[in-house]
Structure 1
Amino acid sequence: MKLVVCAYHNVGYRCIEELLRQGAEISLIFTHEDSPTEQIWFSSVRELAEANRIPYLTSSINEPENIEKVRKIAPDFLLSFYYRNMIKPELLELPARGALNLHGSWLPKYRGRVPVNWAVINGETETGATLHYMVAKPDAGDIVDQEKVAIAFTDTAHDVFGKVNEAAVTVLRRAWPRLVDGSADRIPMDLAAGSYFGGRKPEDGRIDWTKSSVQIYNLIRGVTHPYPGAFTELNSMKLLIWSAWPVAGSGQPGQVVSLKPLCIGTGDGLLELRRVQFEGGQEQEATGCSLSESNRFA
């Protein structure tokens, strides 16, 4: 049983660990070089491969020479765990027993990029991890196994990612023996019952104060540390908001309503700011900012 694995991030690291625990033979790992512009808060698949003397490459699996490498290996399975590149259809046809992906949502909901962040931003109360067969269309192939996780109202995206990480390992632990012996389920995915979301850029963290305090709170906790953060502007200065809480009350959107606590008006309710950071400055308690009730955020 020969495997080629494409993996990155904590899900990739933990799923490879689980495969090794179950005695799987990994012929080659494709992973990524860490980006110098990204905060690297997760475990290194490259270091795991080195520690276990597994050959690995950080060039894209889709490069012609790498496609030929996979063809020569003739793997039984091609597995993808949080690999960031779409894998070409011709590669999906090479493994004798299938190509599978571990996705960080309860498919078919939240197909596409950064599913954990989107689930938190949209105020979902649950998500999950799904192991499914890969087809040309992203996150659309038959489902093998799934595990749900709860999203608490106080959870950040980082908190939820930790839960999804554990759910992913649980799914693989259950599913791998069944994939090996040929008894794994193949449940067709009903795409009409789901949703698709694209990737996010730092600029997508801009706060729209006409939205409700709960919606803005969900955005903040969906992109707070270790992600780029939600932000607003005050007197042409960028202000990152790392922590906040929705409270009852009313005020004009973006208007400072009180200073201690620092509460801002929204389209519905007030938002109490707790941890903030002016661009180029240090993160601080929001009540330490020099503001007045005449200030308005843009």
Structure 2
Amino acid sequence: MMTATPLNTKSTTRAVVFAYHDVGVRCLSVLLDAGVDVALVVTHEDAAGDLIWFDSVAELAARHGIPTITPDDPNTDAVVAQIAALAPDFFFSFYYKLMLKAPLLEIPRRGALNMHGSLLPYYRGRVPVNWAIIHGETQTGATLHYMTVKPDAGHIVDQTAVPILQDDTAGDVFRKVTCAAEITLHRALPQLINGTAASRSQDLSLGGYFGGRRPEHGRIDWSLSATQIHNLIRAVAPPYPGTYTTLDGKELRLLRSRVVNQQVNNHAKSVFFCDNSGCYVHCAGGGTLQLFALEYAGKPVLPSEYLTIFGTSQHTLD
């Protein structure tokens, strides 16, 4: 006969949590499950016009009766004073978008920790999952590290790797990284709480910093190879903005693809064409792409419509 395990009660370990997105929800859940006293959650208002495809940290905090604030800048004197008055042992940052400056980072008695979506020291900075796919990496992961004023540069406490398969989109990989973040924090948290967690410095000569990406960065350079273009397509596939090009003066969005061969083509420019089996591009940089999810002139195109809309003629892509 199984006996019920009592729910955790709050411990004497107090934390302030800066969090957003699915990683924020799952990692905050780990802290709550462990009984950490989360005194305050700092999160973001969802931006008007954004596609909200992820869970809400604010809703999770509300279910647990945790006070929540959404400052435009957490580094103002008023917010710093509010947080300092809580006397937290730890800060935890889980997919929070804004930088925490020195006055904030000096508050927690036992340190400030961040969960980063790569295997540090590689892919420091913004949107690490997307950049890893663009560069054709075969693995990435989640890293728990101490925060310093220089972003993503502090000592590493723990990290977990996940594979990137050759046709994985950023959404696929982000879901894996979310699981990796939860596993990493769950494994490291007991040692952080009892003061036995080890850490190691990063070799910052490895990897590098990457900036954010904007929708216009999805324009395809058709001089590249099929593999390079495929990596961009899957790196920004929905729910991200997607890649695009121009065909006969109208915008063509390419949302899903696969490389069907990597042979060098005898084409000075990339060539788009359709037949009874689908739509393809012979890429000027070598190889052929098969295209699956398309939008043309602002409307989704079903596979049954390919020949009706595009015909069997070849179209040059610049």
Please, what TM-score do these two structures have when normalized by structure 1? 0.96
Matched, 1:255 2:271: yes
Whether contact under 8 Å (2:237, 2:256) holds in the other structure is yes
Matched, 1:44 2:63: no
Distance 1:25 1:295 in 2: 61
Give deviations 1:144-171, integer Å, cap 9, x for gaps: 0010111111211111111110110111
Give deviations 1:4-49, integer Å, cap 9, x for gaps: 0000000000000111001011000000011122211000001001
Change (3 A) 1:236 1:257: closer
Matched, 1:275 2:313: no
Change (3 A) 1:162 1:120: same
Cα drift, residue 256 of structure 1? 2.3
Cα drift, residue 283 of structure 1? 4.4
Amino acid at match of 2:137: E
Whether contact under 8 Å (2:158, 2:188) holds in the other structure is yes
Query: 1:36-115 counterparts in 2 under 5 A?
Result: 36-59=48-71, 60-115=73-128
Structure of greater Rg: 2
Within the candidate set 134, 151, 158, 1:121 is matched to 134
Matched, 1:241 2:260: no
* Runs of at least 4 residues off by over 6 Å: none
Cα drift, residue 258 of structure 1? 4.7
Amino acid at match of 1:296: T
Cα drift, residue 292 of structure 1? 4.2
Change (3 A) 1:252 1:284: farther
Distance 1:253 1:5 in 2: 51
Matched, 1:199 2:212: yes
Query: 1:179-190 counterparts in 2 under 5 A?
Result: 179-190=192-203
Matched, 1:19 2:39: no
Amino acid at match of 2:292: R
Query: Matched residue of 1:168: which SS?
Result: helix
Q: Which residue of 2 aligns with 1:132?
A: 145
Distance 1:189 1:283 in 2: 47
Distance 1:120 1:126 in 2: 9
Cα drift, residue 226 of structure 1? 0.4
Whether contact under 8 Å (2:251, 2:298) holds in the other structure is no
Consecutive unaligned residues in structure 1, runs of 5 or more: none
Change (3 A) 1:193 1:44: same
Q: Which residue of 1 aligns with 2:306?
A: 287
Q: Which residue of 1 aligns with 2:174?
A: 161
Give deviations 1:42-100, integer Å, cap 9, x for gaps: 00001001111100011132222111111111211011000000111211111000001
Distance 1:21 1:294 in 2: 58
**Percent identity of paired positions between Structure 1 and Structure 2:** 47
Distance 1:42 1:283 in 2: 26
Distance 1:283 1:98 in 2: 52
Distance 2:51 2:312 in 1: 34
Q: Which range moves more in the overlay, 54-63 or 211-220? A: 54-63
Distance 1:119 1:26 in 2: 33
Within the candidate set 186, 206, 210, 1:173 is matched to 186
RMSD: 1.4
Give deviations 1:114-157, integer Å, cap 9, x for gaps: 00111111110000100000001110000000101111112111
Query: Matched residue of 2:196: which SS?
Result: coil
Q: Which residue of 1 aligns with 2:4?
A: none
Q: Which residue of 1 aligns with 2:6?
A: none
Please, what TM-score do these two structures have when normalized by structure 2? 0.90
Give deviations 1:243-278, integer Å, cap 9, x for gaps: 111122524433225534322121111112111002
Distance 1:160 1:36 in 2: 26
Distance 2:77 2:317 in 1: 51
Query: Matched residue of 1:16: which SS?
Result: helix
Query: Matched residue of 1:65: which SS?
Result: helix
Q: Which range moves more in the overlay, 246-255 or 41-50? A: 246-255
Give the aligned length: 298
Q: Which residue of 1 aligns with 2:235?
A: 222
